[in-house]
Amino acid sequence: MTRPAARGGRASADRLARLLNLVPYLLARPGIEIAEAAHDLGVTEKQLREDLELLWVCGLPGYGPGDLIDMAFDGDRVTITYDAGIDRPLRLTPDEALALVVALRMLAETPGVANREAVERALAKIESAAGDLAGAPVEVRLPGDTARVRELRAAVERGRALRITYYTAARDETTERTIDPLRMLMVGGRAYVEAWCRRAEAVRLFRADRIDAVTELAEQAVVPPQARPHDLSDGVFRPSPDLPLITLRIGRGERWITEYYPCERVEADGEQWLVSLRVTDLGWARRFVLGLGPDVTVVAPTELAEQVRAQAAAALDAYATPVDRADPAVAGVTQ
């Protein structure tokens, strides 16, 4: 439901900008043909006529005769006869120009931008028009924009295959992989390499901050025809019915889970909530629950509850084991 509204909001903003520039444009070209004006402004003749009809009811407070913008038509030609003070094209203030410069610099540094050259051209035009802003002491640094991210982005742009050492949090393991990169992405403030993984024989997303080592190979990346980029419009993790479903009873202090993770069900149970969510595997779920603390109870599945109980008991047993201070290794630590 939000996407159509977003498109409508964008269209309204575009039309407002066009209307603000339309009056000074027409003032500088009295008697211009509507078809020519529409071509210059990048709109259809129908849209331009609708814009002119809207301008007719815009103007200065009072909104009576002599206050509203007025124009004269001669066949397919139009002339502004009263501009209501809108006689100059819209100009950016220094603050607005600086905000655009920062935004464009950030966009130029974002992994995965398809047409970086167009962004850089727009940035150069704004900096040139803004004068002093061209050398403004503004440094843009994206979240997670580390030396490793810049190294990966450069390798991806060169189209080379990579050998990486990667930590998989879901399985708590580190593996060696050879990947053929497709693109760099920034999702939720984290940088990812999307690539064909030769080990998995499938397209995988690799978080840049979990790549412990990377070697750029001499060979070019070769992506198989069947490789398809992920649809990340709804985020990186996309729960599916084939993934394990866990149910937790959480206290007030753990309700943040419902905002941070996609949940299938949230029900109030007095002061506590029952929360159901999909997980990649029960190994990840076990570590997740153990890290939450005593305000969380596993309701289902039974297998997860038993794993959590067993690991918690093993940790308690380790603390309960008496220390043999006669052991030279222990004595050396405690002295």
Q: Looking at per-residue confidence, does 128 or 36 come out higher?
A: 36
Q: Which pLDDT value is given to residue 322?
A: 66
Can you tell me the mean pLDDT for 269-291? 87
Among residues 120, 131, 121, 137, the alpha carbon closest in space to that of 97 is found at 131
Whether 121 and 136 have beta carbons less than 8 Å apart is answered as no
84: left (phi over 0), alpha (psi -120 to 50) or beta: left
How many whole angstroms separate alpha carbon 109 and alpha carbon 120? 10
Q: Which pLDDT value is given to residue 148?
A: 80
Place 90 in a pLDDT band, splitting at 50, 70 and 90.
low
Q: Which pLDDT value is given to residue 283?
A: 85
Answer yes or no: is pLDDT of 198 > 90.
yes
Q: Which pLDDT value is given to residue 85?
A: 72
Whether 229 and 194 have beta carbons less than 8 Å apart is answered as yes
Secondary structure (H, E, C), 132-177: HHHHCCCCCCCCCCCHHHHHHHHHHHHCEEEEEEEEECCCCEEEEE
pTM: 0.43
Q: Which pLDDT value is given to residue 230?
A: 72
Q: Which pLDDT value is given to residue 77?
A: 92
Beta-carbon contacts of residue 29 (< 8 Å; ≥ 6 apart): 37
140: left (phi over 0), alpha (psi -120 to 50) or beta: beta
Q: What is the mean pLDDT of the chain?
A: 78
3-state secondary structure of 29: coil
Can you tell me the mean pLDDT for 34-49? 89
Answer yes or no: is pLDDT of 136 > 60.
no
Alpha-carbon torsion (261, 265, 268, 274), positive or negative: negative
Q: Which pLDDT value is given to residue 179?
A: 94
**198-226 as b/e, with b when 16 or more CB fall inside 10 Å?**
eeeeebbbbbbeebeebeeeeeebebeee
The tokens describing 187, both together, are 């999702």
**pLDDT digit string (tens) for 2-24?**
344 444 445 565 677 777 778 88
Among residues 103, 95, 89, 104, the alpha carbon closest in space to that of 130 is found at 95
**pLDDT digit string (tens) for 181-195?**
988 887 766 788 889
Secondary structure (H, E, C), 218-278: EEECCCCCCCCCCCCCCCCCCCCCCCCEEEEEECHHHCCHHHHCCEEEEEEECCEEEEEEE
Burial (0-12, 13-18, 19+ Cβ within 10 Å), 83: middle
How many whole angstroms separate alpha carbon 277 and alpha carbon 256? 13
Place 69 in a pLDDT band, splitting at 50, 70 and 90.
confident
Q: Which residues pair with 186 in a beta bridge?
A: 191
Whether 178 and 199 have beta carbons less than 8 Å apart is answered as yes
Q: Which pLDDT value is given to residue 226?
A: 87
